[in-house]
Structure 1
Amino acid sequence: MPDAVLDTASSFLRSFIRPARILVAVSGGSDSKGLLVALHAGLQAEEHRGLSLVACTVDHALRPGSASEAEAVAAFCAGLGVAHRVYRWEGDKPRSGIQAAARTRRYALLCEAADELGADCIATGHTLDDQYETIAMRSLRDAEGQGAAGMAATMLYGRRLWVMRPFLKLRRGDIRAFLEARGIGWIDDPSNANHEFERVRVRTRLATGELPALSPGGRKRAAAAARSAAFIERHIRVCEGLAAEVSARQAGNVDDPDWRRALLSVAAVLGGRDHLPARATIERLSAFLRSGEPGRLTAGRVVFDRRASGLYLYREARSLPALAIAPAARGVWDGRFAVTSKGPALTVAAAGASGAWAQRLIDAGLPAGVAKRAALVAPRIMPADIAGEASAEVECHIALFDTFLPGFDRIMADAIAVLFGRDRYPASPVRDVLTEMVG
């Protein structure tokens, strides 16, 4: 189906609602190289005036020969007349979790390349094969049934740059046939055959077994996110980014999956977590909330404080770190607050028994006992030099979405951002971000 590759690329280009420069992440493998070639061909059409193409290869420096492979991609891009940069992952590499660390570093370097080349978004070559693997892996550990949606066709990275996956409906074999028909080769990464990695093991199993069912998961998840957003707007109040309040009646409504996800997502932000709790924790918490009995339960670093007046959530007062911030630099404290120095070096730690913070929370309408506990985990910003002055800009950090925000979750992410006193996330440059789906 070589024509399907070109048709998919053209359809993607037509989805842009404004002029843009697209950065293609090209590793040299068949998927990303096929994407580059197809988009380059599509841009020759008059209808796509206003769009342009640049490329970047991230050399992870994890094996011999990676630098020469990146140089080969650079030469290929030069032959197409596409501006290209190579960014290298320098420094020591972790001994465990290498694929997750490589992914995080890769996107950071792609953002640097986008800045250098003036790109407005990033396009990656993820395929339907990758989608099958992702759904299979997530189904093994997904506690809230969100894994069936798989990868989103769009994803916001770092609150600033949208990542597009236009080939999510194409099989890898079709892309390779497209390249072969043009006499274009590609590089096979040997790590794709290393069974130490979960994705490789899943890929091998899927090659000889039944593929996971594809449903309109993206559309369903976008609709669920919209319902969760409505719950957040109607039923949750957050004070000073430190504590959330829910009515006693609504708190026990945990059998509604959209409300449960709304509550768990807000709790994740209060706990500085980038993920929802595991299934066993959710079941334990649900039983506690369903009972309607007063008391306190801690889950995911967050205290769920059930009282007659309502349910209150706040970070538990333990394992609170100290953070050093260099002059004019930015850091994230405890996964909850982003602090930017406006001058000298700073130190951020827990406020402890701060009467000022407690009074602010009481003035906001929280019970005195809740206010005092929540005040313990407020940030205290001090100059690193005792003779200096602490001048800083502080905002709530939403660990759940600030690094990777799937397009189909943006409505809920916006509701949470507003709840915590933040601006909404930037919109995508393409149409139908929230209803993009695979299958």
Structure 2
Amino acid sequence: MPEAVIVAARRFLKSFTRPGRVLVAISGGSDSKGLLVALHAALGTAEFDGFSLVACTVDHALRPESADEAAAVGAFCAELGIPHHICRWPGDKPLAGIQAAARRKRYDMLAEAAAIFRADCIATGHTLDDQNETIAMRGARDQGQGHGSAGMAAAMLYGRRIWVLRPFLELRRADIRAFLGGRGIDWFDDPSNENPLFERARVRASLAASGDAPPPWPGGQLRIASSARAAVLLGEHLRVHEGLVAGVAATQAGRMDDPDWRRALMTVGAVIGGREHLPGRATIERLSGFLESGQAGRMTAGRVVFDRRRGGLYLYREPRNLPVLRIDASESGTWDGRFNITSAGGALTICAEAEDGAWRQRLIAAGLPEGVAKRASLVAPHIAPADVGSLGSMAAEAEVECRIGPYDTFLPGFDRIMADTIALLFGRDRYPSPPVDDGLTEMAG
């Protein structure tokens, strides 16, 4: 149904809260090229005055022909009168995990291009076929949280700075190709999409061979509801002290049979531990058994100590493998995956706090048990002028904020309510809202 492509493009543009500039990530493949052409056609009417299109091609420089393909995309954009920018990934590439590294680099460069063009968002051509592959891959390695079926979100915030929108998630690739074919427009096929060395290519081939149509995608509605409920539970039962310790009421600590609470607690644990991902299924099962038992004691999982006491549960970073970080004058860095630190003056050295530092007294003043305060203070950041090192006192010329590891790089739109709640608990502002109406602002209250 070629007309479905135009319908999807128009529906996407109508979802904006105000007209804006859209940067289309275009590789030259059918999906992204179809997105660019459909949006260009939709913007040819007076209905969408105030909108504009720009485009960016990321050349990963992994194939000899990639530079010529990027140039050809640029020429195609010029024919349409759409400003186009090419970003090239320079230097040596990692030998392992190349697809994950390429994904991160691609979004980095797209975000830079969006800043250059002053675009309000990035639009990508992900399709229902991509969604089905993603759901299959995530389902195979679901971490016991039961949310792999949510798939990709229609909106994703990258790096706390730019929203990535996916207007074609309900369209089949075949429809997009029929749309382009009807207009006499060709495209490139990336050979890596068929390379069995990559998980997605294997899953794609398996889905094609099975011939079974996957069940209808629920659009992440269950995930949205789960995240909203998790946010309420966190607000009611969890408090964060100095960005170092999360305290949970004793009556809630053992309720790991509640999937929303379990995911909420594991997400907070990932923040405390400076991790971007939750622990694996086996670890969560062991931890759940420990917490459900109600027995006092301590268990470590994902670099986090879960300290169960009669008065409640306390989470804090384990005091091992703490790094030393140097930050140059007026520069920023992330220490231990937990704190973003910016020098407002000279160069700084960040290491772990000494045993009797100021953090301990602040945690005790906050009402924490002395044993918890002592252990947690040992993993607090000690910030000193670089030429003084561990002998100096905390430098006044440093800005410190907590890093929310699971969401500060990739925030799926359907987790925004829970992410905002966690950010506020850790003394941060809410995340930026998307430029489109995602229906969550009213839910968040």
TM-score relative to the length of structure 2: 0.96
Where 2:400 maps in the other structure, the secondary structure is: strand
> Structure 1: where are the runs of 5+ without partners?
none
Match in the other structure for 1:340: 342
Q: For each residue in 1:198-240, what CA deviation from the matched residue of structure 2 results, as whole angstroms up to 9, or x when unmatched?
A: 0000000000113443342511100100000000100000000
> Structure 2: where are the runs of 5+ without partners?
none
User: How many angstroms apart in 2 are the aligned matches of 1:324 and 1:121?
Assistant: 34
Match in the other structure for 1:398: 404
User: How many angstroms apart in 2 are the aligned matches of 1:406 and 1:372?
Assistant: 36
CA contact (8 A) 1:148 1:217 kept: no
Q: For each residue in 1:2-44, what CA deviation from the matched residue of structure 2 results, as whole angstroms up to 9, or x when unmatched?
A: 0000000000001000121000000000000000000000011
Q: Size of the alignment, in residue pairs?
A: 435
Name which of 408, 414, 417 aligns with 1:408. Answer: 414
Range with bigger deviation, 232-241 or 339-348: 339-348
CA contact (8 A) 1:265 1:400 kept: yes
Cα distance change on mapping 1:211 and 1:348 into 2, 3 Å? farther
Match in the other structure for 2:241: 239
Q: For each residue in 1:313-372, what CA deviation from the matched residue of structure 2 results, as whole angstroms up to 9, or x when unmatched?
A: 000000111112122111111110000111222121111313311110000110000000
Match in the other structure for 1:256: 258
Match in the other structure for 2:202: 201
CA contact (8 A) 1:396 1:420 kept: yes
Matched, 1:431 2:433: no
Cα distance change on mapping 1:212 and 1:285 into 2, 3 Å? farther
Where 2:68 maps in the other structure, the secondary structure is: helix
User: How many angstroms apart in 1 are the aligned matches of 2:422 and 2:175?
Assistant: 40
Match in the other structure for 2:80: 80
User: How many angstroms apart in 1 are the aligned matches of 2:177 and 2:440?
Assistant: 30
Match in the other structure for 2:115: 115
Match in the other structure for 2:192: 191
Match in the other structure for 2:332: 330
Considering Cα pairs closer than 8 Å and 6+ residues apart, tell me whether 1 or 2 has the greater RCO. 1
Match in the other structure for 1:100: 100
Match in the other structure for 2:49: 49
Q: For each residue in 1:79-111, what CA deviation from the matched residue of structure 2 results, as whole angstroms up to 9, or x when unmatched?
A: 000000001111221100000000000001001
Match in the other structure for 2:29: 29
Match in the other structure for 2:158: 157
User: How many angstroms apart in 1 are the aligned matches of 2:314 and 2:118?
Assistant: 45
Match in the other structure for 2:362: 360
Where 2:408 maps in the other structure, the secondary structure is: coil
User: How many angstroms apart in 2 are the aligned matches of 1:342 and 1:145?
Assistant: 44
User: In the TM superposition, what is the alpha-carbon distance from 1:434 to its structure 2 partner?
Assistant: 4.1
Query: Could you tell me the percent identity over the aligned residues?
Result: 68
User: How many angstroms apart in 2 are the aligned matches of 1:226 and 1:354?
Assistant: 40
Match in the other structure for 1:178: 179
CA contact (8 A) 1:351 1:375 kept: yes
TM-score relative to the length of structure 1: 0.97
User: How many angstroms apart in 2 are the aligned matches of 1:152 and 1:215?
Assistant: 11
Match in the other structure for 1:420: 426
CA RMSD of aligned residues (A): 1.3
Match in the other structure for 1:126: 126
Where 1:422 maps in the other structure, the secondary structure is: coil
Match in the other structure for 2:142: 142
Range with bigger deviation, 316-325 or 75-84: 316-325
Letter in 1 for 2:118: G
User: How many angstroms apart in 1 are the aligned matches of 2:213 and 2:346?
Assistant: 56
